[in-house]
């Protein structure tokens, strides 16, 4: 047992960086039942829908203030040819989804359906373009189709298909995992393609696109180094003997545009995928370790980026993250359908706290995936729908969106198991635009509670406190269609305030959200 309580020091005067709402982004790929029999049921479905999109899912996602949605992949993106997914649905060609089960894809959910979904959700679309098997022209025409407000072949085609005005498109990814399923490229090859393809991703009709490069897998720091060096590095000037000052190179005028660099990391054991629900403390501890490893990855990739971009103009985009287990028994092995337990709630809380604390560099993230795939927020069976523990964490943490990060110094004991150790407390804090302070904490120890004392350095007294907690009796408890509310947030009242000290006991294996007013 510990000798001292954990101490959290919050300096309210040092808030400098804003936690972008886009850190709380999501991801929907043509994989398993994420799109079909998930988001999309078709206009003729008895399940209540708006133009084929499930109403209950839209309502649930709007409740967590979904800020952006990445589509159509993932690996699927580099096999997707967007013109197959426009026009009358009965005329759209079928394709084989070679990445995810070799099932037939009918292309009924395409560009218009996705953009309609984003409008219903009131969120930003994040489209991932095809570099692996696509052409520069194909990508250029897609952007023109989406965003050009005028007379052109692609704009006229869009109008013919029922959309008069262009859409707003803020985020566009130039390929996905091009080191793997997106073409097995070396980084030097990908950089040349990025520089070429991004040139033709144009800004039309006042729409400004933030271009995102395929970044590294996990700890591939060489990939980050080369992309940053070749797309953002300082360039020498050309000497010219007839001029007093050197003439700038063409690079100064045509430097590639790079708003963000992707990073993909999953909490998984590649050599031994394990059950999402059948585990004991050894696998609890292993996956907590793997979740906390995100801190090291972001820190080290940020150091590489700082060499070429000390002003942090290029964002680190963690556009695939989450837990990955073996598929549920009896389901298609390539549909990646898995249950979602209290362990996944802790994994989500840990990662979101890490992203918040690195918001000077991390500007967007996308958990994988939205529905029925990997660490899903929502699971469906026919007309039924359940919210997972991960969904509830996103709902509890939504208060951080576009709030100012408050730096925290944490002194805590270690959670020790099997010769390893981890800090028991993981946390982040922010102040919203109304002046309220929000603190989110995770207790990684599944057995022991932790006494917490928060010391707030500020000149205003705390007037009220509200808190909610997410926990369960067992590590592997989950919501099911028979018992859909076994895990959900409840009010947490046992908090003491004395001057600017806040103290409470944080139960084992829990996620806590605290709101302070002054």
Sheet holding 450-457, edge to edge: 408-411, 6-11, 450-457, 501-506, 495-498
Tokens of 239: 């000497």
* Marked catalytic residue, from 105, 320, 395, 450: 320
Rounded-to-integer distance, Cα 465 and Cα 50, Å: 40
CA 152, distance to chain mean position in Å, is 35
Nearby residues of 230 by Cβ (< 8 Å), 6 or more positions away: 191, 195, 256
320 catalytically annotated: yes
* Element spanning 379, H or E: strand 378-381
Residue 363's alpha-carbon distances to 67, 327, 494, in angstroms, are 12, 31, 34
* Element spanning 59, H or E: helix 55-63
* Marked catalytic residue, from 29, 124, 141, 177: 177
Tokens of 254: 């045509």
β-strand 490-491 against 464-470: which pairing, if any? antiparallel
Q: Say whether 98 sits in a helix, a strand or coil.
A: coil
Nearby residues of 310 by Cβ (< 8 Å), 6 or more positions away: none
Q: Say whether 135 sits in a helix, a strand or coil.
A: coil
Rounded-to-integer distance, Cα 126 and Cα 366, Å: 10
The burial of 418, by beta-carbon neighbours within 10 Å (0-12 exposed, 13-18 middle, 19 or more buried), is given as exposed
Residue 67's alpha-carbon distances to 91, 196, 386, in angstroms, are 33, 29, 21
> How many DSSP H helices and E strands does the chain contain?
10, 27
177 catalytically annotated: yes
> Across the strands, what pairs with 126?
70, 171
Torsion of CA 404, 409, 415, 421, to 10 degrees: 100
How is residue 400 annotated by DSSP?
Answer: G
How is residue 371 annotated by DSSP?
Answer: B
Rounded-to-integer distance, Cα 369 and Cα 323, Å: 10
Active site residue ranges: 177, 320
């Amino acid at each position: 047992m510990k000798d001292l309580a954990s101490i959290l020091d919050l300096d309210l005067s040092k808030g400098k960086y804003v936690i972008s709402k886009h850190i709380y982004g999501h991801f929907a790929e043509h994989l398993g039942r994420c799109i079909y029999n998930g988001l999309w049921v078709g206009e003729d479905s008895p399940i209540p829908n708006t133009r084929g999109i499930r109403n209950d899912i839209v309502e649930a996602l709007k409740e967590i203030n979904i800020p952006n949605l990445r589509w159509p992949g993932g690996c699927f993106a580099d096999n997707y040819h967007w013109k197959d997914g426009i026009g009358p649905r009965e005329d759209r060609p079928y394709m084989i989804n070679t990445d995810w089960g070799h099932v037939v894809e009918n292309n009924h959910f395409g560009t218009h359906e996705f953009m309609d979904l984003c409008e219903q959700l009131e969120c930003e679309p994040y489209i991932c373009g095809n570099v692996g098997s696509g052409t520069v022209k194909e990508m250029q025409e897609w952007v023109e189709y989406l965003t050009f407000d005028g007379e052109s072949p692609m704009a006229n085609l869009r109008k013919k298909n029922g959309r008069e005005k262009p859409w707003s498109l803020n985020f566009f990814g130039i390929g996905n995992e091009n080191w793997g399923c997106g073409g097995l490229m070396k980084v030097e090859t990908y950089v040349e393609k990025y520089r070429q393809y991004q040139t033709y991703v144009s800004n039309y009709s006042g729409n400004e696109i933030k271009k995102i490069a395929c970044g590294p897998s996990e700890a591939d720091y060489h990939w980050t180094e080369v992309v940053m060096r070749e797309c953002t590095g300082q360039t020498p000037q050309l000497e010219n003997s007839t001029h007093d000052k050197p003439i700038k190179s063409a690079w100064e005028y045509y430097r590639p545009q790079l708003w963000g660099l992707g990073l993909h990391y999953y909490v998984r054991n590649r050599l031994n995928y394990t059950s999402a629900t059948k585990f004991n403390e050894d696998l609890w501890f292993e996956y907590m370790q793997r979740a906390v490893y995100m801190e090291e990855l972001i820190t080290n990739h940020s150091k590489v980026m700082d060499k070429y971009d000390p002003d942090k103009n290029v964002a680190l985009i963690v556009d695939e993250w989450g837990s990955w287990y073996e598929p549920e028994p009896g389901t298609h092995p390539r549909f990646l359908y898995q249950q979602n337990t209290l362990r996944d709630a802790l994994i989500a809380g840990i990662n979101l706290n890490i992203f918040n604390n690195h918001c000077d560099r991390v500007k967007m993230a996308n958990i994988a995936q939205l529905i029925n795939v990997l660490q899903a927020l929502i699971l469906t069976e026919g007309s039924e729908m359940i919210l997972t523990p991960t969904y509830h964490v996103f709902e509890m943490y939504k208060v951080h969106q576009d709030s100012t990060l408050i730096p925290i110094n944490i002194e805590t004991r270690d959670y020790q198991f099997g010769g390893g150790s981890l800090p028991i407390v993981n946390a982040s804090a922010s102040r919203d635009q109304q002046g309220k302070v929000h603190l989110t904490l995770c207790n990684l120890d599944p057995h022991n509670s932790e006494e917490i004392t928060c010391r707030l350095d500020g000149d205003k007294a705390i007037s009220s406190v509200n808190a909610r907690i997410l926990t369960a009796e067992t590590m592997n408890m989950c919501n099911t269609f028979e018992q859909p509310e076994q895990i959900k947030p409840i009010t947490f009242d046992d908090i003491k305030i004395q001057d600017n000290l806040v103290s409470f006991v944080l139960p084992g294996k829990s996620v806590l959200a605290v709101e302070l007013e002054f």
